[in-house]
Amino acid sequence: MLCVAFGAAAVFGRAGSAAAAAARVEGVAGGLVHLLHDQVVVPAVAHVVAVAEPVAGVIAVLASTGARRAELAGARREHYDPGERSLRIVGKGNKEREVYLTEESAVYVGAWLARTVWRTGPLFLPIDRWGIVARRHLTTKAVADTVNTARDAAGLPRLTAHDFRRTFIGELLDSGADLATAQALVGHANPTTTARYDRRPAATRRAAVARLHIPRPEDLEAP
């Protein structure tokens, strides 16, 4: 696992009201924790000290891309374009897709990459208790362990790597992204799967319909 994951405790501990920012979202199987991205994720990783840069990068990429654990664990340096803030990852069915990092997330990933000399190979690397970096991919368990440490430190009742994915989809749809765009970014084979994460209330849907224009009878009367 990432032995520097202890750094996440200090990071998420400073988030203060992280637990209060978590809310259960109805309509998705099993319920889920909705992490308020701008109020918890970004401020939390912003306080990471140098030794915890891998942790900041892992959390930032999860929050910024909605990547699955296996996708993040398998990400490679040569597939990351810092100029475009794009990352090519391999998803289910061995299908590749392009995901994009926020400006903040790119800073954390850049800081981590600057600590090592390799230009190719795994994007994130495991570090042992003596601070020695191993040039191999993280395991999916290492990704989960990092999130678990953050969850415990923040006092959240439940938080998994997949909750970042759910939140990412919800944030996209809340911001006005269409379903097809969200589906492409998260690599869902079926748009129905993406639609399950649409947490927009009925009022939002009603307002969307209200913006449509259908001529009234008097508008159609000949002059």
Q: What residues act catalytically?
A: 68, 92, 162, 165, 188, 197
Long-range contacts of 151-156 (CB under 8 A, 24+ apart): 151/12, 152/9, 153/8, 153/9, 153/10, 153/11, 153/12, 153/13, 154/12, 154/13, 154/15, 154/18, 154/19, 154/40, 154/44, 155/18, 155/19, 156/18, 156/19, 156/22, 156/33
Full DSSP string of 174-192: HTT--HHHHHHHHT-SSHH
> Which amino acid appears at position 128 of this protein?
D
